[in-house]
Structure 1
Amino acid sequence: MKRAASIAGIIIVLGLLAFPKVKDYLKASETASQNNSGSAAPLNVEVYIVKPDIVENKIFTTGTLTSNEEVELASESSGLIQEIYLREGEDVKKGELLVKINDSELKAQLKRADFRLNLAEDREKRQKQLLEKGGISQEEYDATLNEVNVLRAEVSLINAQIEKTEVRAPFTGKLGLKYVSDGSYITPNTRIATLQDIDPIKIDFSIPERYAAQIEVGNKVRFTVQGIEEPLVAQVYAKEPRIDSDTRTLQVRARSSNPDGKLLPGAFADLELTLQTIENAKMIPTISLVPELQGQKVFLLKDGVVHPQSVVTGLRNESKIQITEGVEIGDTVLTTGLLQVRPQMQVSVKQVNGE
């Protein structure tokens, strides 16, 4: 009992000795806190002033270059090659003779048919005079006239067969490698060479079906190919009228000028397609956007005071996003301090962007 009373007495004495110091410390802390709260500096923030801008709705895809026109040259008839006029890699004009097949037998048939036709035409003239004088019947004259017409048709047929012994360029273009030689026997299945028109050159590509309604004939396409540093431009001129049910994509074709022939069919291309261009769009930095349960918001600065504002967004690019509702041209949007600011809070502008 005496021991407990002694311990209690010691604690009381120590408390009385420490009380003045603790009191002074608490008073000093309260004073300092009051001083700090009264002289705290406003939060420094950076802001962006909204101004009209141009925004493009783009999609990125890949494609393949194809010839404007392309054909594998072949003969319509079989026979020995009499002469080859084509030169590999050279430009040719439409209708230019490239390969000639031996047609000596057909020319002999044509000569015989011409002799028979001339004889029949002379006989028809004489019988016509006799018919006018009543020397022969109408039936006899008609038989002779029919023979003349048959022989004329035969001459036309042989001429058509002779034309098939000539391989001509179906369009203006550039020849590829040849696969036959003088004296070779060829058939309609024999590959002679390739002919391609590569100016302009076409680009085949596909886009997801969700963009099908947005793409239009005339849309610009920027593309790059390996070996050419500068970006090139093409223009959409056609698209399939249906969606591919297997890939859920729409096949599109564009065309680009290729006067120097640097672009070659079969090359791989990276494409950037502009579906829509919006002028006077209200764009803000993406970092200014704050997600919330009901959508998205930004913090506007008006007269040095922060005001939260719900917004509706549109298109987006690398660093900015379009605001369709909630922000007007000339508004000041916070780009920093978004986690520290509160509604109606006063802030200090450290830097203004977008001026």
Structure 2
Amino acid sequence: MKLQHLGWFTVVIVTLASAWVMAEPKANQPTIVVTTSPVIREKRIIPIKTSGRLAHAKETRLSFKTSGLINRIYVDEGETFQQGDILASLDLAEINAQVNSAESNVAKAKRDLARLMDLYKKNVIPLQQLQDAQTAFRLAESELKIATFNRRHSIIKAPFNGQVLQRFTEENELINSGTPLLTVSENQNSWVVKVGLADRDIVKATMQDPVKLSFDAYPQTAFTGKISKIAAVADPKTGTFEIEVSLTNPPLLLRSGFIARVDILPKSTQQLAFIPVEAIVTAKGKQAMIFAYDPKTSQVSEQWVTMNSLLNKEIAISNGLKNISDVVTDGASYLKDGMTVQRITDSTEKELSQYSGL
């Protein structure tokens, strides 16, 4: 019974209290009416509660192989493209010149090799000179392959059908080799939420553990997923272990960057004690103070307990409730250690219900 519902009890209790004062010694007089709740001890799956950022399952940063001046960027953020489309290109004047120079070197090395081959056959030059010409020809061919490769990767082509998520630079800017130009995602309705877990939680998580998720954009919709990836080492910057939760074919439109509230449901269960949230009088970190009720003496005692997690309207307690069967809920904030109280039972409620019309 909630405290706000006890208003009409006050008149009754005051009346009864007056009678008790006349009939019993003051030391035995109950001073406060409380409600209690039994301590439930059982094994349950305790969710690991955290949050993470939503992203496409496949996101790729695209960049040029070589440095140069950006000539054209053909797409902007939010635009879609097809596999093979040209997304951006460098000014190829310098790169084409490098290719032409490499082609000329190959042609010269080929002529030199042919001439020295004839001279070697006529025993005019030694074998070493011919071998040097062969090596020079192979080096020239390798340089041509490098220049041709660089020119091919001075144009960014779409690796798949997808969408542009981010664009980091503009046309006519000078860009270094490997600097990201675009972030793109593949056009698939497949998403992941990236979450960082502390070491105390990562040991509880296993692959394919079910996960419940929610987004502020859709507060009335529940999403589900599974753990698809668990990092082997901690992130050196945060000290947490990153996991990925996969969502396949979600029922509503999602966007990369949404923040998700995540409840991981590990396969392992824990034996814990559970009490109502209303039993908590005060808390400091993981420690909370409650009042335990002794049915034999009708007295309450102050107890500090260790909270494990919050589950809807219950608190999971990992330590501090040994040999305690009941805790005070309504009325706990008015108590002191060792006080004698009057507990409202089902029979008491029935007796007092006749005064509900007053």
TM bucket normalised to smaller: 0.5 to 0.7
Amino acid at match of 1:157: I
What is the aligned counterpart of 2:176 among 161, 165, 188?
Answer: 188
Distance, in Å, in 1 between the alignment partners of 2:97 and 2:235 is 55
Q: TM-score, normalised by structure 1?
A: 0.54
Q: 1:231 to 1:340 in 2, by over 3 A?
A: closer
Instruction: Work out whether residues 106 and 162 of structure 1, in 8 Å CA contact, stay in contact via their aligned partners in 2.
Output: yes
Distance, in Å, in 2 between the alignment partners of 1:244 and 1:129 is 64
* Paired position in structure 2 for 1:159: 148
Amino acid at match of 1:252: I
Deviations 1:37-65 (A, max 9, x none): xxxxxxxxxxxxxxxxx964434333222
* Paired position in structure 1 for 2:72: 83
Q: 1:211 to 1:114 in 2, by over 3 A?
A: closer
Amino acid at match of 1:77: T
Q: Match of 2:72, SS?
A: strand
Equivalence map 1:1-355=2 (5 Å): 56-92=45-81, 96-169=85-158, 173-176=162-165, 178=167, 184-188=172-176, 192-197=181-186, 199-207=189-197, 209-228=199-218, 229-241=220-232, 251-258=242-249, 262-276=253-267
Q: Match of 1:276, SS?
A: coil
Distance, in Å, in 2 between the alignment partners of 1:181 and 1:316 is 49
Q: TM-score, normalised by structure 2?
A: 0.53
Instruction: Work out whether residues 110 and 158 of structure 1, in 8 Å CA contact, stay in contact via their aligned partners in 2.
Output: yes
Q: Match of 1:224, SS?
A: strand
Q: Match of 1:154, SS?
A: helix
Q: Based on CA coordinates, which of the two structures has the bigger radius of gyration?
A: 1
**Any stretches of 5+ residues in structure 1 without a counterpart?**
1-53, 279-284, 294-314, 322-336, 342-355
Deviations 1:104-147 (A, max 9, x none): 23323423432342243244234334434434321331232232
Instruction: Work out whether residues 106 and 161 of structure 1, in 8 Å CA contact, stay in contact via their aligned partners in 2.
Output: yes
Q: 1:150 to 1:226 in 2, by over 3 A?
A: same
Amino acid at match of 2:214: T
Identity %: 18
Amino acid at match of 1:188: N
Amino acid at match of 1:276: K
Q: Which moved more, 1:173-182 or 1:268-277?
A: 173-182
Instruction: Work out whether residues 61 and 183 of structure 2, in 8 Å CA contact, stay in contact via their aligned partners in 1.
Output: yes
User: How many positions carry a matched residue from both structures?
Assistant: 254
Instruction: Work out whether residues 74 and 188 of structure 1, in 8 Å CA contact, stay in contact via their aligned partners in 2.
Output: no
- What's the Cα RMSD here? 4.9
Amino acid at match of 1:224: S
- Structure 1 residue 255, shift from structure 2 partner: 1.6
